[in-house]
Amino acid sequence: MDETLIASSTIAWLAFALGVVFGFVGNKTNFCTLGAISDAMNIGDWGRMRMWALAMAVAIFGASALQFAGLIDVHKSIYTGSRLLWLSHVVGGLLFGAGMTLASGCGSKTLIRIGTGNLKSLVVFAFLGIAAYMTLRGLFGTWRVAALDSVAIDLAGTQDLPAILARQAGMAADTAMMAAATVVGGALALFALSSRDAWRSDVLLGGTVIGAVIVAGWYLSGHTGYVPEHPDTLEEAFIGTNSGRMESFTFVAPYAFSLELLMFWSDTSKIVTFGIAAALGVMAGSALFAAITRSFRLESFRDSSDLLRHIGGAIMMGFGGVTALGCTIGQGISGISTLAIGSLITTAAIIAGSALTMKIEYWRLMREA
């Protein structure tokens, strides 16, 4: 029976390959959720926002198709639990949105920028990872559990929209899932493609490929790496994931586990997991594109205030991302593809936190001018 188990290293290498695709296309198309919010707010350009929405739609349709085919079960992810941590989603999302604005990008953009030679993003990576680890298992974690996670709504079942629709309307599970996916995914796709600007090659390429990578991540961890009965524990298992559950792309906790792996390298229980490999792949894919286009440039901080701004933003992202169970990719695409209520709340809070911080920053600039 051992011979039938897929090796965790195989899962890691496949996740790395998906990460390379993510990083390469993300760099080529300038996929950036912070940039999407900034463009829409400041210059009225909704192109990158439509790209993000298209990625959500593709991920929703893909994940729903896998669910319908019985290849994965989204209820085995961290997003669809029966306990709705609404305060954690709101506070964590607001902090993450503010933090990514101060740090010049979210978790995925930080990895892409590292691949292009941005030393500021390397510092953000380190401090985000430290803050994330402290929020998972350290000092910040005690605050999170006591003050935020304790405030929740206990539902009668899982919190994904199809499950809620099935309970409330008495619909069959598959029917409810297809109905919810069609409405939510269709609305996002309609928004994404309703303008001529959306038909630019970068918008279509970025949105389609990033969304497809998320779906492939679900298939890899939730089907290829799924073991109904592990020979050692006699329980179901997801090979090579840090959470012990089905995972797709997210870029907060993997920062923490990457630092943990480096610090405890001699501990044979620590391995390169799906999340760590995916993050490394994004950096490699971005670096590959930078090398091909000769756009690799070393960039550092302009002064001490710029350094402090990025460190503060990174710490806010680390705490906020773990608290909210994800980032603009982890909740904003992977989580939303499960149609979880918490993912919708977090994504809205991230956008609000970023937009508010941009307004404050603009007000400060005008005051100092």
Specify the pLDDT at position 2: 47
Lowest mean pLDDT among 1-15, 61-75, 212-226, 335-349: 1-15
The whole-chain average pLDDT of the chain stands at: 95
Specify the pLDDT at position 369: 66
Three-state SS for 244-311 is: CCCCCCCCCHHHHHHHHHHHCCCCCCCCCCHHHHHHHHHHHHHHHHHHHHCCCCCECCCCHHHHHHHH
Is the pLDDT at 166 greater than 50? The verdict is yes
- 171-230 confidence digits (pLDDT tens): 999 999 999 999 999 999 999 999 887 888 899 999 999 999 999 999 999 999 999 988
Is the pLDDT at 366 greater than 90? The verdict is no
